[in-house]
Structure 1
Amino acid sequence: MCISCGCGMPHDKHNNPDLISMEDLQRAAKAANMSVDDAVKNMADSVGMKCNK
């Protein structure tokens, strides 16, 4: 879903480098030595969303 826009295409940035792709999320998780799931949970927690995982 280009992750940030919700289009359903997680690997496509639509020629806009400011959008977040799955590859960006994977790199960020790897840099923090954590799983993508944990990184997503931390991101949701950071903006006040509750993840049930």
Structure 2
Amino acid sequence: MCASCGCGSPEEQHGDERNITWSQIKAAAEAGGQTPDEVVRNMARMAQQQGS
């Protein structure tokens, strides 16, 4: 899904490149030697630390 809104379309940015797509998460995982699941968990942990 669009990681930003949860619409169910993995590559949809809804006309705004600030929305995060699945391919961006996968690319970040590859860059960091992690799995996409690890990246998502790290993002959730960071959001909690930032007081989301």
Same topology, TM > 0.5:
yes
2: CA distance, partners of 1:3 / 1:47:
14
The answer to whether 1:8 aligns with 2:34 is: no
Identity %: 37
Higher helix share: 2
In structure 1, runs of 5+ residues without a counterpart are none
In structure 2, runs of 5+ residues without a counterpart are none
SS at 1:9 equivalent: coil
1: CA distance, partners of 2:16 / 2:46:
24
Number of residue pairs the alignment of both structures matches = 49
Give the superposed CA RMSD.
1.5
2:24 counterpart letter in structure 1 = D
2: CA distance, partners of 1:17 / 1:5:
13
How does the TM-score come out when normalised to structure 1? Answer: 0.79
